[in-house]
Structure 1
Amino acid sequence: MSEQGPGEQKNQRQPIFLIPSVIAVLVGLLWAIHLGASFVFDSDGLANFRIWFGFIPLRFVAPEALPGGFSPLLWSGFTHAFLHVDFMHLILNSAWLAVFGTPVARRYGAGPAVIVFFFGALAGALVLTAHQMASVNQFLVLIGASGGVSALTGAAMRFVFQPVIVRQDPETGERIVLGRRTATFAELFANKSSRAFILVWLGLNLAIPFAPLVTGMEIPIAWEAHIGGFIFGLIAPSLFDRRARRI
């Protein structure tokens, strides 16, 4: 066994990207699908691709008006999360996924992180559908990872601003870091940092439909999907923690 001095330890290379492999895979899939679709399809093919794999609320009330009828609803609640309008849309969602998916994956593991992402995307699509049916039933195609990313953001809010729990080993007296506890919903709003983040995040999204009153233009952002995914994400840690206590 060789010994290393302090200078040698400092010279060891550290990894540049510290995101968990499951988050790296999800980001890689977003880019692979977007690049593949961009190179393979012409404008008509890309439109058709989005019709089949994007989420279209109108299918619930007029399935006969669209290719595939009702059937694409079986998968498009999930697959829409892997389609993006352009590279800027893709870059923003990839960055947000890396930032908020990382703490969730580290805390709960790959499986729960994927569950939060996919079912957050589905929750966002369903909230969008409910709003569409309650207001104007217009034709729109929901694409983008925003619902899933919003769910990971909501899940992260349950613990990232909570204090670190430290325990002292009874035998050695060594202080052991156990991690951060999961906040209750009351504690989320009692904590200044998590309360401010949630209120600002919700406020910005709820302001989007009123943008035309100020700018005269609609902002093509599915704020309903953001809110639906975020709410699912806030709930998800309670489900994972309850299951962990039973095991």
Structure 2
Amino acid sequence: MRTPQAGNPTRPPRNPPVNLPGAVLSALGILFAIFLVQEYFLSYATNLIVWRDFGFMPARYVHPLGEQDLAWLWSPVTYSLLHGGWAHIIFNSLWLAIFGAPVARRIGAVRFLALWVTSAAASAFFFAAVDWGAVAVLIGASGVVSAYMGAACRFAFAGRGGLSPYAHLNRRLTIPEVFADRTARAFVIIWLLGNLLVAVGVSLAGVSAGEIAWQAHIGGFLFGFLAFPLFDVKLPHTLGY
């Protein structure tokens, strides 16, 4: 009896245990590395300083917190790398893996990073516009994750009825086409409605407006949804783009 040899074309291909794009895996690695350092190597007092100096604060743009306070330069991005607890980072990581993966496969690592940076800033300043001058500190990647959700709505549901391994190959939908598609329309409406309910004080699954930055979520989602064509790539004509 002959044993199968290496390279036998009849042997089914081996799928990697974690089938995520490198950009998403790198992002998750950075988020968890930063969180673990804060969780296990920094004291609570030191973490307060980290959150103050790298978290986003609307008050920073009304009256500076000190003569040497330059955090207004980097905090619109660095806040998205910080998290306040295990539930916070795990929840954001799950949604990042689900919706960041098709976006990363479609636009590549460089544009994925560019979308991260710009959507983080857009989410932060939408938060600031709603609560201008607030001393509250915004941290977490949820605004960026929301932007990837909004971006995915422009292509991931096109004619597929839901996310698939090949969703990144779908053609980009126009905004009217998104709302004409039953699955995409339902996702957008339910997502926005959920955040608006939290905004008016309705607790969903035990989460209230005081515990979730719904302003950053909506700002990020709208940015990803509306600005995605600026980051998108042109697919081959044979795919109907």
Fold equivalence (TM over 0.5): yes
- Give the drift of 1:242: 7.4
Q: Secondary structure at the match of 2:194?
A: helix
Answer whether contact 2:128 2:134 (CA < 8 A) is retained.
Answer: no
Answer whether contact 1:182 1:237 (CA < 8 A) is retained.
Answer: no
Query: Could you tell me how far apart the structure 1 residues matched to 2:201 and 2:168 are?
Result: 45
Partner of 1:202: 192
Query: Could you tell me how far apart the structure 1 residues matched to 2:138 and 2:20 are?
Result: 27
Partner of 1:185: 175
- 1:241–1:49 Cα change, 3 Å: closer
- 1:42–1:240 Cα change, 3 Å: closer
Query: Could you tell me how far apart the structure 2 residues matched to 1:139 and 1:198 are?
Result: 31
Answer whether contact 2:156 2:168 (CA < 8 A) is retained.
Answer: no
The C-alpha deviation readout for 1:38-87, integer Å capped at 9, x for no partner, is 222211110011000000000111213x5843x10100000000100101
Q: Secondary structure at the match of 2:228?
A: helix
Partner of 1:151: 147
The C-alpha deviation readout for 1:119-138, integer Å capped at 9, x for no partner, is 111111000000012xxx43
Partner of 1:169: none
Name the larger-Rg structure: 1
Partner of 2:61: 60
The C-alpha deviation readout for 1:225-246, integer Å capped at 9, x for no partner, is 011111111123311347889x
Partner of 2:48: 47
- 1:141–1:2 Cα change, 3 Å: closer
Answer whether contact 2:155 2:168 (CA < 8 A) is retained.
Answer: no
TM-score, scaled to structure 2: 0.85
- 1:204–1:3 Cα change, 3 Å: closer
Partner of 1:19: 20
- 1:62–1:25 Cα change, 3 Å: same
Query: Could you tell me how far apart the structure 1 residues matched to 2:227 and 2:62 are?
Result: 30
Partner of 2:137: 141
State whether structure 2 residue 241 is matched by structure 1 residue 240: no
Partner of 2:211: 220
Q: Secondary structure at the match of 2:98?
A: helix
Amino acid at match of 1:160: A
Answer whether contact 2:154 2:178 (CA < 8 A) is retained.
Answer: yes
Query: Could you tell me how far apart the structure 1 residues matched to 2:33 and 2:63 are?
Result: 32
Sequence identity, in percent?
Answer: 38
Q: Secondary structure at the match of 2:169?
A: strand
Partner of 2:239: none
Query: Could you tell me how far apart the structure 1 residues matched to 2:168 and 2:58 are?
Result: 44
Q: Secondary structure at the match of 2:131?
A: helix
- 1:118–1:222 Cα change, 3 Å: same
Partner of 1:38: 39
State whether structure 2 residue 102 is matched by structure 1 residue 103: yes
TM-score, scaled to structure 1: 0.83
Answer whether contact 1:122 1:147 (CA < 8 A) is retained.
Answer: no
Partner of 1:121: 120
- Give the drift of 1:17: 0.8
Answer whether contact 1:34 1:83 (CA < 8 A) is retained.
Answer: yes
| Cα RMSD for the two superposed structures | 2.7
Q: Secondary structure at the match of 1:204?
A: helix
Amino acid at match of 2:120: A
Which of the pair is proportionally richer in helix?
Answer: 1
Amino acid at match of 2:21: P
Which of the pair is proportionally richer in strand?
Answer: 1
- Give the drift of 1:209: 2.2
Answer whether contact 2:195 2:214 (CA < 8 A) is retained.
Answer: yes
